[in-house]
Amino acid sequence: MTERAQFVTRLGAIAATVGSAVGLGNIWGFPCSAGSNGGGAFLLIYLGCVFLVGIPVILCEFVIGRGTHKNVSGALKQLAPGTKLHWFSYVGICASIMILSFYSVICGWVVEYLIQAISGNLSSQSSDEYEKMFGAFVSNPWRSSLWTLLFLLINFLVLRRGIKKGIEKVANLLMPILFVILIVFCVNALTLDTAKDGLSFLFHPDFSKLTPKVAISAMGQAFFSLSIGLSCILTYASYFRDSDPLFRNATIVALLDTLVALLAGIMIFPVAISFIQGTGDKDSFELVFVTLPNLFNGLPGGGFVWSVLFFLLLFFASLTSTISMSEISISFFQEEHGMSRTKATGVNTIVCMVFGVLCAQSFGVLSDFTIFGKTIFGFFIFLSNDVLLPLGGVFFAWFVGWFIDKKFVDNQLTNFGTSEVSVWRKPLMFCIRYIAPMVIVVIFLYGLGLFDAIL
Ligand code: PHE
């Protein structure tokens, strides 16, 4: 048997995991959710979710993945032999396929806009023209589908090269560039006249805005942004080395992911504060593809540079996320079904191409086709984000907190006793066993409207 691949360095492992976490969810989703849910109040709940639920669930996935060095199904089979618990791996695999399908549609739009920006078409239009251009593009039956397919092809080409030469190399290259672009944007935003208004909206919590809806959005945002609940982090952790410190890695990943979300807020709020305060979730496409390109024209240096940088940032952030989503099923096909890397990557790509085109057509010829009142695109978002990810989060917390051997968990958290026992271990186990599952279940039931009758 050939030896299983690993990330070569600890930094590479962190870069890849942060690359998975940092994506459209941070740079676009976070400012939009914060904007439509009261700014600072949302931020506070978001931070609570990251620390009380996010880090514990990341660690649960780390423990299972690194402890077994297997794909999600193989890992559950090893840790729960003789049970049917490995069936749960299909929840993560289905969620990853759904997320990859709708996500790559937006990535396809990003590619189109990146090319438009590079060819100078985004820097010379009136605000009406931006609106028309976006409307015409997404409703064109084939154009956005073609970009979706192209994006999935790029994703395929990276993944086919494997863990070291594909995922780790791309993450090591793209993550530093991403941070530099973000910082350039933030420095520019801080020099604008509207900087103060933008920042005070983001950082000044207005507690009258705190409602159950804000809590639901914050938790959904945290799960999606940290890539947890679907075994993506578990799969990456299965490529960690035995010497990697799990608790420290989990904290670094969560902090960097949160930092990028905050930097995205700092970069976008001063530029688009008046638009964002009135933003509902439905307008978030408009923010990225209509409002920002238009507003970039007014920035020092002109629209060309800023729109190229912005869509490049989105492109890099999304590519490092989509490769991580795909790795869940690729590792599963390789290890459980004996496929070669190329074949496993090909199967994943073809399945997502089919669903991706269906999602793209939700804005075109399939716009009238609905499931529970949602287009295919909307239904995939709902089912994965609002149902499957929280379900996965509770499962992993229960599995690590209650089901598997305590000694196994301890060995992973302390690298077999070779690293110091962190003072955080007790509070962390408390969060894994009680706080995280309780918070997720309560917020999840709220989301489904189950408390409406009582409150
Ligand atoms: N975390 C990514 C983002 O913020 C999205 C993602 C979700 C990636 C699930 C992998 C798995 O955009």
Average pLDDT, the chain: 91
Could you please report the per-residue DSSP string of 287-327? Answer: IIIIIHHHHHTTSTT-HHHHHHHHHHHHHHHHHHHHHHHHH
The mean per-residue pLDDT over the stretch 302-315 comes to 92
* pLDDT value for 282: 46
Question: Averaged over 302-317, what is the pLDDT?
Answer: 92
Among 148-162, 202-216, 347-361, 368-382, whose mean pLDDT is lowest? Answer: 202-216
Ligand 1 mean position to 226 CA, how many Å?
A: 6
High-pLDDT (> 90) share of the chain, %: 70
Ligand 1 center–CA 259 separation, angstroms: 15
Q: How far is the CA of 335 from the centre of ligand 1 (A)?
A: 23
Higher pLDDT, 125 or 175: 175
User: pLDDT (tens digit, 9 = 90+) per residue, 358-414?
Assistant: 999 999 889 899 999 999 999 999 999 989 999 999 999 999 999 999 999 999 999
C-alpha 223 to ligand 1 mean position (Å): 8
Ligand 1 neighbours, Cβ below 6 Å, are: 20-21, 23-26, 99, 224-225, 227, 230, 232, 321, 324-325
For ligand 1, atom 7, the nearest C-alpha belongs to: 227
- Name beta bridge partners: 39: 205
Helix (H) or strand (E) holding 407: helix 406-413
Give mean pLDDT, residues 199-222.
86
CA of 127 to the centre of ligand 1 (A): 31
pLDDT (0 to 100) of residue 273:
76
What would the pLDDT profile of 170-185 be if each residue is shown by its tens digit? 999 999 999 999 999 9
Higher pLDDT, 303 or 437: 437
- Give the pLDDT confidence score for residue 301 in this predicted structure: 83
Query: Residue 2: what pLDDT?
Result: 63
HEC assignment per residue over 234-253: HHHHCCCCCCCCHHHHHHHH
83 secondary structure, DSSP code: S
Minimum CA distance residue for ligand 1 atom 6 = 227
CA-nearest residue for atom 11, ligand 1, is 227
- For 122, the token pair is 């985004």
CA–CA dist 394, 115 (Å, integer): 41
Closest CA to 349 of 154, 172, 68, 118: 154
Which residues 6+ apart lie within 8 Å of 381 measured at CB? 102
Counting from 1 in the atom list of ligand 1, the atom nearest the Cα of 26 is 4
Yes or no: say if 5 and 239 are a contact pair by the CB < 8 Å rule: yes
C-alpha dihedral, 19 to 316 to 177 to 283, nearest 10°: -100
Tell me the C-alpha distance between 426 and 332, whole Å. Answer: 33
The pLDDT tens digits for 242-299 are 999 999 999 999 999 999 999 999 999 888 876 666 554 446 788 889 888 888 888 8
pLDDT at 373: 93
- pLDDT, tens digit, for every residue of 7-40? 999 999 999 999 999 999 999 999 888 888 888 8
Q: Is the pLDDT of residue 227 over 80?
A: yes
* Distance, CA of 103 to CA of 255 (rounded, Å): 23
Task: List the alpha helices (DSSP H) in 69-168.
Answer: 72-79, 89-118, 127-139, 143-160, 162
**Model pLDDT for residues 326-350, shown as the tens digit of each residue:** 999 999 999 999 999 999 999 999 9
pLDDT digits (tens, 9 = 90+) for 104-123: 999 999 999 999 999 998 88
**Any idea what DSSP says for residue 432?**
I
Q: 49-106 pLDDT, tens per residue?
A: 999 999 999 999 999 999 999 999 999 999 999 999 999 999 999 999 999 999 999 9
Q: Rounded to a whole number, what is the largest CA-CA distance in the chain?
A: 64
282 CA → ligand 1 middle, Å? 19
Residue of 17, 18, 20, 46 to mutate, ligand 1, most atoms within 8 A of C-beta:
20
- What are the structure tokens assigned to 445, written together? 């039931």
Can you give the pLDDT at residue 57? 97
SS (H, E, C) 337-399: HCCCHHHHHHHHHHHHHHHHHHHHHHHCCCCCCCECCECHHHHHHHHHHHHHHHHHHHHHHHH
Q: Which residues is 205 bridged to in the sheet? A: 39
What one-letter code names the amino acid at 380?
A: F
Binned at pLDDT 50, 70 and 90, residue 455 comes out as low
Return the pLDDT at 162. Answer: 94
Q: How far is CA 60 from the centre of its chain?
A: 18
Of ligand 1's listed atoms, the one at least distance from the Cα of 24 is: 12
Mean pLDDT of 228-245: 96
Q: How far is the CA of 448 from the centre of ligand 1 (A)?
A: 23
Q: Which atom of ligand 1 sits closest to the CA of residue 226?
A: 1
